[in-house]
Structure 1
């Protein structure tokens, strides 16, 4: 039974977000016998990114068999790179398979979290007025859930249709319309080829070109799918092969000279796909491949051979009621503007309205004023019993983020286990441990392709890369196998106060 708004819930673990990260955390809590938890989800269903991004052509750029939980296999993926619908159906299936819905509260957007130091637990507040008191909480909202709306002069005055790619209006018919697509990132390179044949005119506004490489569009045969289902070992071997082939991509990341050599192949791909030499030049980036996110598509470049598609590289001066004016003075009438401008990934920005306070006066907004940082992307000094999934320094440029999520969840569960074993009230990563780790990360990043001069969403406005894991993913796996007790301060419970709380309840207590 759902609690009424404004009521208080006590629980062992609160999870924020019901995407891949939050659901993985929930499943592993159940398997560990810890059933006293709640998932707070601001949306109306599970899925996170894959629930929201339903634009035409939306698909993953990691292979299907690798972009799924290792413990919840799907033998019948239809193709090498799944579309959003198949991924979302997989998430829905996993949710039902593990009976997670009783633990989830939908429409619950968290507005703040405050550590109650004397009690050793967190007070988590929602915009609806609910309060959750939790001994532990896991921030699993992910970095790709707040659409980035560009600050363009006159955007609010536009009288035509306007929407972001993550909020696609499927009820609006693009047929016969003059459409402007602003942005040429991961979303745009997928929906632009899909809508181009339908619209009357498509203006693609590009600020910076992206490196786009070929996509493996092969489908899995019925025989292969049946074989994977009948012989799980073959599916596991296939997944392992995908993992290690992806892992080999780490070499160009940490050898910019090698990346520039491979870049020649990407340049050849552009020339083979685009007929006009002038367009070829405009679509060729001037930065080393890998410095920004590398995109995959077989359809994006050929789209610019169409007579009804224009690549616009002059900056936007202003947006009027029914048109867009570029800096060269050219005015282009448009019926619809689609913002393919990605997401706000800096938590200092998208968590601006989220008050988060820890022990001894710690405020996250102050601690992250220079740049977001954490220990192993999972714990933050000054914020005991708080854990993150896909936190600072855990994003990847070469492999599956699901692999990283599973490693983090394993690490968090070991933290909970050690807390019980130590009979501690709470645990806090030592400041010197976090500082030493982040110095190590930044040192490694200096020698990577991400430090070759381009500006990307991996960085703060000041140029600090707070996003990427700068080594092979197996190194992250090794470092998260077991919690090193010496890395943390284990604060004992006051005399007479039990540290461990029961965690075998079927659902969170409300009162």
Structure 2
């Protein structure tokens, strides 16, 4: 069996970015493995009605590869899928990809000094370096509700949408009111004869200032890239301000309140019913959950055939849903917008076993979730976790990808310069980084704010906000380019 240079697990934007950077460094024996039938990650598996990016596309894209042809400021999901395909083809990394290939385990072989990667079909690959870019929003979280399996109608998970199922005239129930549901509910209401929305946690929804990008402006973006760069600087600045509000909670508390007030005004304008407004008012601070944008979510909930249910669900029966007050709603179709199994399914998404038999998933759960610069863990040589703890920066996943690409460039460049074959972050460097980000989080909204009832995926099962890197995007990119090489051992 030939030894590969790199195995990348995941063919979403993270895996594509890692492959592009490694190709620039001269690596060619690369394999990108993905369990799905095509690239794109979450933008491949999700296709529900109303799907769109919730960050302006100028910011939600690679800095080095702007796309002048977005149709809208917040384009639909299909355009993100096409963008992924175009980037992979332009940078010639599509040829590294193997689809329908599920990775079960990766184990460090201390004798051969290689990673042994085992696939679900029994195939085994040997590689010098391992990168996991498995994303976050890929495993649906099934609700633990008695009787779910007994429902006789159609059940649809939002991430496995059945486009052949016509909802016209149906009585539909949807469980969940997170970011996905906020996009989906207006689309369901447009077709269903009756729609019941089951809400466990209200969400702050601020107006979505979306717009078509006219063809003439797309032409200008293509011919004069600096114009699109200027637009990106504006959208980047907006989200950096939102990040600063969360990270510097005391100093920018008034701005956080102002954003909550904007959501409040949005509710007041759209909803005249005081009781309905009360039910839709969150009891946690703005920013504890990912910001949600919509200008038609609240108006949809005021329509006569749309009903908001805030009583907890007691059980599901073959023909409907029974709430804790004993009320039963008869439905034909049940839509599950219950979020993603983020922590249990993605940290890590595959079994990873490093030096001395250290199991990464078990070690994280026994020693808290941690990763140096969001990418490296002691006892795991030649391993990069692109979705490690503290990796998420600036509310756009592309910010995280780009600083990680810089980290890869500096790290693998040092391997080439010195002729070394292995790298491993030191325990001291990891501990210092963990201590530093811990102190920064102590000053943030996620510690000082009222986030208890938010049920946000930012927080791990122990209630710590270890998904987020509590620094600015500029800082993350700078550290990705300049981190001390002495923080790693090379051999």
| TM norm. shorter chain > 0.5 | yes
Q: How does 1:392-471 map to 2 (within 5 A)?
A: 392-396=389-393, 398-451=394-447, 452=449, 453-454=451-452, 455-471=455-471
Moved more, 424-433 or 190-199: 424-433
Match of 2:380 among 379, 383, 402: 383
Q: Check conservation: 2:460, 2:467, Cα contact below 8 A.
A: no
**Distance of aligned partners of 1:351 and 1:158 in 2 relative to their CA distance in 1, 3 Å threshold:** farther
Moved more, 9-18 or 352-361: 352-361
Q: Check conservation: 1:13, 1:38, Cα contact below 8 A.
A: yes
Q: How does 1:105-144 map to 2 (within 5 A)?
A: 105-144=98-137
Cα offsets for 1:297-318 (capped at 9, x unmatched): 1110001110010000000000
- Check if 1:70 corresponds to 2:63: yes
Q: Work out the CA distance in 2 between the residues paired with 1:179 and 1:426.
A: 55
Q: Work out the CA distance in 2 between the residues paired with 1:351 and 1:161.
A: 31
SS at 2:314 equivalent: strand
Match of 2:325 among 317, 324, 328: 328
Cα offsets for 1:478-510 (capped at 9, x unmatched): 1100342211122x3xxxxxxxxxxxxxxxxxx
SS at 2:326 equivalent: coil
**Distance of aligned partners of 1:131 and 1:434 in 2 relative to their CA distance in 1, 3 Å threshold:** same
Cα offsets for 1:5-50 (capped at 9, x unmatched): xxx5520011000000001111222222211111001100001100
How far the C-alpha of 1:350 sits from its partner, in A, is: 4.5
Q: Work out the CA distance in 2 between the residues paired with 1:404 and 1:353.
A: 18
Q: Check conservation: 1:58, 1:191, Cα contact below 8 A.
A: yes
Q: Work out the CA distance in 2 between the residues paired with 1:399 and 1:350.
A: 18
- Check if 1:362 corresponds to 2:382: no
Q: Work out the CA distance in 1 between the residues paired with 2:348 and 2:73.
A: 38
- In the alignment, what sits opposite 1:289? 286
Match of 1:342 among 339, 344, 362: 339
Q: Work out the CA distance in 2 between the residues paired with 1:70 and 1:384.
A: 29
How far the C-alpha of 1:166 sits from its partner, in A, is: 0.5
Q: How does 1:188-267 map to 2 (within 5 A)?
A: 188-253=181-246, 254-255=248-249, 257-258=253-254, 259-267=256-264
Q: Work out the CA distance in 1 between the residues paired with 2:125 and 2:169.
A: 51
User: How many residue pairs end up in the alignment?
Assistant: 482
How far the C-alpha of 1:361 sits from its partner, in A, is: 2.7
- Check if 1:166 corresponds to 2:159: yes
Length-normalised TM-score, structure 1? 0.91
SS at 2:195 equivalent: strand
Q: Work out the CA distance in 1 between the residues paired with 2:44 and 2:198.
A: 27
**Distance of aligned partners of 1:293 and 1:399 in 2 relative to their CA distance in 1, 3 Å threshold:** closer
Q: Work out the CA distance in 2 between the residues paired with 1:16 and 1:361.
A: 21
Q: Check conservation: 1:202, 1:308, Cα contact below 8 A.
A: yes
How far the C-alpha of 1:390 sits from its partner, in A, is: 2.9
Q: Check conservation: 1:415, 1:483, Cα contact below 8 A.
A: no
How far the C-alpha of 1:296 sits from its partner, in A, is: 0.4
Q: Check conservation: 1:362, 1:382, Cα contact below 8 A.
A: yes
Q: Work out the CA distance in 1 between the residues paired with 2:241 and 2:101.
A: 41
SS at 2:282 equivalent: coil
Moved more, 233-242 or 322-331: 233-242
- In the alignment, what sits opposite 1:104? 97
Q: Check conservation: 2:116, 2:125, Cα contact below 8 A.
A: yes
Q: Work out the CA distance in 2 between the residues paired with 1:220 and 1:450.
A: 35
- In the alignment, what sits opposite 2:147? 154
SS at 2:26 equivalent: coil
Moved more, 409-418 or 107-116: 409-418
Q: Check conservation: 2:199, 2:309, Cα contact below 8 A.
A: yes
Q: Which runs of 4+ in 1 moved over 6 A?
A: none
Cα offsets for 1:168-207 (capped at 9, x unmatched): 1111011111111001001000010011021011110000
**Distance of aligned partners of 1:94 and 1:416 in 2 relative to their CA distance in 1, 3 Å threshold:** same
Q: Work out the CA distance in 2 between the residues paired with 1:460 and 1:390.
A: 14
Q: Work out the CA distance in 2 between the residues paired with 1:372 and 1:167.
A: 29
- In the alignment, what sits opposite 1:305? 302
Moved more, 45-54 or 440-449: 440-449
Q: Work out the CA distance in 2 between the residues paired with 1:392 and 1:298.
A: 33
How far the C-alpha of 1:436 sits from its partner, in A, is: 1.6
SS at 1:133 equivalent: strand
Q: Work out the CA distance in 2 between the residues paired with 1:262 and 1:422.
A: 50
How far the C-alpha of 1:427 sits from its partner, in A, is: 1.2
**Distance of aligned partners of 1:448 and 1:473 in 2 relative to their CA distance in 1, 3 Å threshold:** same
Q: Check conservation: 1:395, 1:401, Cα contact below 8 A.
A: yes
How far the C-alpha of 1:265 sits from its partner, in A, is: 2.3
Q: Check conservation: 2:36, 2:99, Cα contact below 8 A.
A: yes
Cα offsets for 1:209-228 (capped at 9, x unmatched): 01011111111122211111
SS at 2:481 equivalent: coil
